[in-house]
Amino acid sequence: MIPREILRKVRRIEITTRGLVDQVFSGEYHSVFKGRGINFAEVREYDYGDDIRTIDWNVTARTGTPHVKIFEEERELTVMLLVDVSASGDFGTRERMKGDLAVEVCSLLAFSAIKNNDKVGLIIFSDRVEKFVPPRKGRRHVLRVLREMLYHEPAGRTTDLGAALEYLSRIIRRRAVVFVVSDFVSKPFEKALGVAGRRHDIVALRVRDRRESELPSIGLVELEDAETGERLVVDTSNRDFRAAFASRGEEARAGQDRTFRRSKVDVVDLSPGRPYLRPLMRFFEERGRRI
């Protein structure tokens, strides 16, 4: 039995995100992802004005008459949500945690997908794959996806994105649009990302709170690594320490960016303390111009 509190959260998130989809977001999703897949439909005789690059030379040679291949857009896509539920998702310094933001963003993407008659699937992971929900269509299915994200109790505390990507490559054979929602503080994953990226269209949604790389000057503070449990008392009034802390965070971010560039993966930065719709729409607009 799913607790009533979880059902109320699902309903609240549905109302919020479906409103955003209906009002502003669905068109952005549609323009970037719909029709990206192309399927062969038929062969017909060449007409004046046809693109010569579509000529089917085998049929032309067999019949003695120029023929061209006709393609049609693939009207149904599969959208996979890979959601990191490691312990670092419980961090947040403003009105919500990183994990809460991940659920809302996934809800927005899922409702956008079903509005366009696409399938939605889910992989929940930490240092292991914890849950797989096969891709399907429809509102009831999306509500199930939301319930799984909200109700799931993680078994692992650390992150192994590589294992999740390898699982994706094994289980989803047909090309999919894959949104990976994580802070990407993980065991090495570049090889698995490259392999998965050759088949799937991967978008990294990097969820980071600014306090993970920027400390206020408030004196002695005990910091705890959410994933390892390691604790350390630091003096945040020390300017050199704050600078070193910020530099370390920037180096980690830059390293992730290099990995994404090498794998040709787009990245969108999201923060629990800031509205998420604007960076998502900016990404879709920029990507739409590249198509």
The answer to whether residues 209 and 114 belong to one domain is yes
Determine the pLDDT at residue 131.
Answer: 97
The answer to whether residues 208 and 68 belong to one domain is no
Residue 265: domain span: 4-33+75-290
Is the model more confident about 201 or about 237? 201
pLDDT in tens, 196-222: 999 999 999 999 887 777 777 788 877
Is the model more confident about 245 or about 65? 65
The answer to whether residues 51 and 116 belong to one domain is no
- The whole-number average pLDDT for the span 39-45 is 75
The answer to whether residues 100 and 160 belong to one domain is yes
Q: What is the 3-state secondary structure (H, E, C) of the chain?
A: CCCHHHHHHHHHHHHHHHHHHHHHHHHHHHHHHCCCCEEEEEEEECCCCCCHHHECHHHHHHHCCCEEEEEEECCCCEEEEEEECCHHHHCCCCCCCHHHHHHHHHHHHHHHHHHCCCEEEEEEECCCEEEEEEEECCHHHHHHHHHHHHHCCCCCCCCCHHHHHHHHHHHCCCCCEEEEEECCCCCCCHHHHHHHHHHCEEEEEEECCHHHCCCCCCCEEEEECCCCCCEEEEECCCHHHHHHHHHHHHHHHHHHHHHHHHCCCEEEEECCCCCCHHHHHHHHHHHHHHC
Number of structural domains (the chain) is: 2
Is the model more confident about 240 or about 196? 196
Determine the pLDDT at residue 84.
Answer: 96
The answer to whether residues 176 and 214 belong to one domain is yes
Answer whether residue 132 shows pLDDT above 60. Answer: yes
- The whole-number average pLDDT for the span 137-166 is 94
- The whole-number average pLDDT for the span 251-264 is 93
The answer to whether residues 138 and 255 belong to one domain is yes
Is the model more confident about 35 or about 140? 140
How confident is residue 181, by pLDDT bands cut at 50, 70 and 90? very high
Q: Which of 56, 73, 90 is the last residue of a domain?
A: 73
The answer to whether residues 48 and 19 belong to one domain is no
Determine the pLDDT at residue 91.
Answer: 62
**Average per-residue pLDDT in the chain?**
85
The answer to whether residues 147 and 157 belong to one domain is yes
The answer to whether residues 51 and 189 belong to one domain is no
Give the domain CATH number at 220: 3.40.50.410
Answer whether residue 74 shows pLDDT above 60. Answer: no
The answer to whether residues 169 and 266 belong to one domain is yes
Determine the pLDDT at residue 182.
Answer: 96
Is the model more confident about 65 or about 215? 65
Determine the pLDDT at residue 35.
Answer: 47
